[in-house]
Structure 1
Amino acid sequence: MGVIEDISFGLFLGVAAALSPGALLALLISETLTGNIKNGILVSISPIVTDVPILFLSLYILKKIEDFTSLVGLISATGGILLFYLGIKNIIGKYSQINTDMHGSFIKGVVINILNPYTYLFWFFIGAPYVSERDIIGSSAFVVSFFVGITGSMIIIAFFVEKIKRFIESKYYNYLLKFIGFLFIIFGVLLVKNSLKYLGF
C-alpha cells in the first residue's frame, strides 16, 4: 500500500467520522446555531487537539497492556453524564440572543471528544494499528489526511448550518435546539449503556 492509498484511507475515515451522527456533530450544529460560524469552526478543529494525544496513548497501550475495557467503560459513563447535562440545558433553555462565547465552544468540543469512548476505540482498534504498520511517511500521510477529512467536512457543515440559520424563525429555532438536546440525551443513554458492558454489568 502506497502513500496515495494512505491519504485516501485517511480522508475516507475522516469524512466518515465527521458525517457520522454523534455527540460531536450535534455539538457542532448546536454551537453554530447558538453562536456563529466561528463557534462551529472551533468545534471542528477540536479533534486535532484531542486525537493526537489519544493516538500516541493508543500506540503506547497496544504495547503495554492487554485489558482496555475498564478504562473505556469509565470514559463512556463520564461522557454519558456530560451529554445528559448538555441535553437538559438545551431542552430547558431559551435562546433569544446569539451566544458568541467562542472559547467555550472550543472547550466543549475538546471535552466532548476526550470523553467520547468511540474516539479511543477508533484510534485503539483502527488508527493506531494502521499507523504502527506503516513507515513514517505513510503513517504521517494517513494521520494528516484524516484530520483534513474530519475538520474540513465539519467546517463545511458549520457553514451550511450558518447559512440556513437566518431562515429559522425564533420559535422553530428553539424547537430545533430542544430536538438537539434530546439527541444529546439519547447519545448519553447509549454511552452509559455501553459503559455497563465494558464494566462487566
Structure 2
Amino acid sequence: MTEFVSATLTGITLGLAAGLAPGPLMTLAITQTMRHGLKEGLLVAAAPLVTDVPIVLALFFVLRELSGQLLGALSMVGALYALFLAYETAKANSVGEIDSETAPASLKKGVLVNFLSPHPYLFWITVGIPYVLSANEKSALAPWGFIAGFYLLLVGSKAGVAVLTGRYRSLLTGQAYPYVMRGLAIALVVFAFLLFREGLHLVSVSEH
C-alpha cells in the first residue's frame, strides 16, 4: 500500500506540473473555450486521454527507443500546425461570428496538437515507462496509481483552466475579444517557434 500511495503522489505531482506548464495544448484549451464555450475547452483538455494510449503502447511494445530524427520531425510538423491554429485564432473578431461559421472540432485539434508534440514521447521514454517498470517490481498496483494520478492532474489542471476561462468569458468578449484572441495567437506563434527549434535540436543531436 505504501508503494501505491508513493506512486500515486508521484503521478499527481508530475501530472500537475505537466498540466499547468504553458504550451500549445494549454493555449488551445483557452482559445477554444473563448471561441466556442466551456465544453470545447474541456474536450481539448481531454486530448491526452486519446493520444497517450497509442503513444505509450507503441513505445512500450514496439518503439522502445524513438530516434531523435523522428521526434524532431514530429516536433517540426507540430510547429506548423501550431502556426495554423495561430492564424485561425488571429482571425477571430467576435464569438458569434466564429461560432456560426466554424465547426469547433476541439477534440480533433487537441489530439493533433498533442500527437505532434515530442513531449509525450519524451516523457514516457525518459520518465514514465522507466518509473512504471520500476514501480511494478515493488507492487502490481503501484503503476496504476502512478498512471491514475498523472492523468487525473494532467487533464484536470487543463480542465480547471478551461473552467476559469469559461467563467470569466463574458469579461473577455465584446471589444476586448479580438485583442485577447490576437494575444493567444501570438502565444501560439511563440510555442510554434519553440517546437520548431526543439525539433531542429533533436535532429541535429541524432546526427552526431
Deviation at 1:60, TM superposition (A): 3.0
Report if the CA contact (8 A) 1:83-1:187 is conserved: yes
1:155 aligns with one of 146, 156, 159? 159
Q: TM-score, normalised by structure 1?
A: 0.91
Q: Does 1:194 align with 2:198?
A: yes
The answer for the alignment partner of 1:99 in structure 2 is 99
Q: Deviations over 1:41-79 (max 9, x none)?
A: 11111111111221222223564x4x6201111101100
Q: What is the total number of aligned residue pairs between the two structures?
A: 199
Map of 2:71 onto structure 1: 72
Q: Is the 8 A contact 1:39 1:102 kept in 2?
A: no
Matched, 1:165 2:166: no
**1:84 Cα deviation from its structure 2 partner:** 0.9
Q: Secondary structure, in 3 states, of the residue corresponding to 2:168?
A: helix
Matched with 2:111 is 110
What is the alpha-carbon distance in structure 2 between the residues aligned to residue 102 and residue 15 of structure 1? Answer: 30
CA deviations 1:107-163 (Å, max 9, x no partner) are: 111111000111111111111111121223111111111111111112211111011
Letter in 2 for 1:72: L
Query: Over aligned residues, Cα RMSD in angstroms?
Result: 1.9
Q: What is the deviation of 1:103?
A: 6.2
Ranges in structure 2 where 5+ consecutive residues have no aligned partner: none
- Where does residue 185 of structure 1 map in the other structure? 189
More displaced stretch, 186-195 vs 163-172? 163-172
Supply the AA of the counterpart residue of 1:110.
Answer: V
1:139 aligns with 2:143: yes
CA distance in 1, matches of 2:133, 2:63: 10
Name the SS of the counterpart of 1:91 in structure 2: helix
Q: Please, which moves more after superposition, 171-180 or 128-137?
A: 128-137
Q: Separation in 1 of the partners of 2:124 and 2:75?
A: 15
Q: TM-score, normalised by structure 2?
A: 0.88
Distance 2:19 2:58 in 1: 22
CA distance, structure 1, for counterparts of residue 150 and residue 185 of structure 2: 28
State the secondary structure of the residue aligned to 1:21: coil
CA contact (8 A) 2:74 2:116 kept: yes
Match of residue 5 from structure 2: 4
Amino acid of the structure 2 residue aligned with 1:178: R
